[in-house]
Amino acid sequence: MDPSETNIQSRVTVFNGNEVVCEHPRLSGRKGQYSTLAEHVPDKHRDIDGLWSRTWFSDRARSFGPATQEVIEQILDRHQIEAQGYLDCQNILGGLGKKNRQRLEAACGELLARGGYPTYTTLKRLMAAIDSDAKAPRTIRPAASTRKHTESQGDDPGPEVYVRDASHYEIGSQGAAQ
């Protein structure tokens, strides 16, 4: 392999037309991770006081419960540039929690108890597990016995169940007429 190809594959170069704006090492590992350096953030995106902020997400998460608030704060804390976690927080609170506030809080509590890495996908899977547990079939309880009680069954007769045989339901029989 040509040494210049190794350099190309291990570095990222950003151009503005023919001018090189910056160059930095290519990240490896988790797909979709951010590599933005704080000094490369445009001036108009620095120190913005818009709709989304740490306070806005923390206050919103607090209305779900303490576990949700903790998960949202962990997501915001793991980013070098806090605003990179805003979309994750919005997807969790607005998407997963929109109609499932209690299940989201339960999933966040479960995630914290396990010491897991908070992501949208992880929480979605935990919520699905909580939902499937709630829909799990209940234990089957046997119905009362339909056998006629006989003396040979022992001392415990069990529930009193009276079973009529087919002759009772025949038309014109004495049992059906009564």
pLDDT category at 1 given cuts 50, 70, 90 is very low
Is residue 98 classed as helix, strand or coil in its secondary structure?
coil
In terms of average pLDDT, the best of 93-102, 109-118, 128-137 is 109-118
Distance between CA atoms of 98 and 45, rounded to whole angstroms? 28
Check if the beta carbon of residue 92 is closer than 8 Å to that of residue 76: no
Burial class (CB in 10 A: 0-12, 13-18, 19+), 9: exposed
Percent of the chain scored above 90 by pLDDT?
4
pTM score above 0.85: no
Name the most confidently modeled range: 32-41, 42-51, 92-101, 129-138: 92-101
User: What is d(CA 44, CA 50) in angstroms, rounded to the nearest whole number?
Assistant: 12
- Quote the pLDDT of residue 70: 92
Beta bridge partners of 15: 20
Q: How far apart are CA 61 and CA 167, in angstroms?
A: 68
Count of C-beta atoms within a 10 Å radius of residue 126: 21
Instruction: Calculate the average pLDDT of the chain.
Output: 75
Cα torsion through 139, 106, 119, 124, rounded to 10: 40
* Distance (Å, whole) CA 16 – CA 6: 23
pLDDT of residue 66: 92
- Give yes or no for residue 38 having a pLDDT over 50: yes
Q: Which residue type, as a one-letter code, is found at position 175?
A: G
Region 43-57: mean pLDDT is 68
**Banded model confidence at residue 174, pLDDT cuts 50, 70, 90:** low
CA distance 71 to 89: 9
Q: Is the pLDDT of residue 152 over 60?
A: no
Over 50: is that where the pLDDT of 57 sits?
yes
Instruction: Tell me the pLDDT band of 166, cut-offs 50, 70 and 90.
Output: confident
Distance, CA of 67 to CA of 102 (rounded, Å): 11
Query: Looking at 13-27, 39-53, 62-76, 145-159, which range is the least confident one?
Result: 145-159
CA pair distance 29, 77, nearest whole angstrom:
20
